[in-house]
Amino acid sequence: MRTSFDLTPFYRSSVGFDRLFSLLDEASRLTSTSAAGPAYNIERLGTDTYRITLAVPGFEMDELEIVQQPNLLIVSGKAGTNDKGEYLHRAIEHQRFTQRFELADFVDVTGAALRNGLLTIELKRNLPDTMKPRRIEIASASAPAQDEQKQIEAKAA
């Protein structure tokens, strides 16, 4: 069942949310069957730290690739040919995959590890100082500011 939302009213009354609306529109087009690739978990470890864990059984380190682009993380696996025997039952997939994760602004990969068939990717949001909350001093309203005082003296002269 696919539900389509009309985002046109939001486009008309907001500025700077284009990326968010594009993500919502793209997510509404995806279905559960189109999500090919390994199973994964996304965990929030703290205020600004995250972990993505992908199940990649049978993959070696040289068969996996992690690429970070602006606001996008791409994990891909290139399976080697290891079909030496005849399978009576084959349920463990060991085939090529590409998994994409949309990243928020200022989220960067800090590390990755492959252990026991699980690929773990550590992420952290690093806000620049200009984006962090800061305290603004409030000037006294009873005394004019120095710049205003200089302007008043210049006009009087």
In angstroms, the CA 149 to CA 147 distance is: 5
Q: What is the pLDDT along the chain (157 residues), one digit of tens a residue?
A: 455 667 777 777 777 777 777 777 776 665 444 456 899 999 999 999 999 999 998 899 999 999 999 889 999 999 766 667 788 887 777 789 999 999 988 999 999 999 999 999 999 999 888 888 888 999 887 755 566 666 666 666 5
Classify residue 157: in a domain, yes or no: no
> For the domain that residue 120 is a member of, what is the CATH number?
2.60.40.790
Do 53 and 23 share a structural domain? no
- Answer yes or no: do 92 and 121 share one domain: yes
Identify the helix (H) or strand (E) that includes residue 66.
Answer: strand 64-69
What's this model's pTM, rounded to 2 decimal places? 0.66
Containing structural domain, residue 53: 37-129
Can you give the three-state secondary structure of 90-130, one letter per residue?
A: CCCCCCCEEEEEECCCCEEEEEEEEECCEEEEEEEECCCHH
Same domain for 43 and 29: no
Alpha-carbon gap, residue 89 to 95, rounded angstroms: 16
Both 117 and 57 in one domain: the answer is yes
Residues 19 and 55 in one domain: no
Considering its fold, how many domains does the chain have in total?
2
Amino acid symbol at 35: A
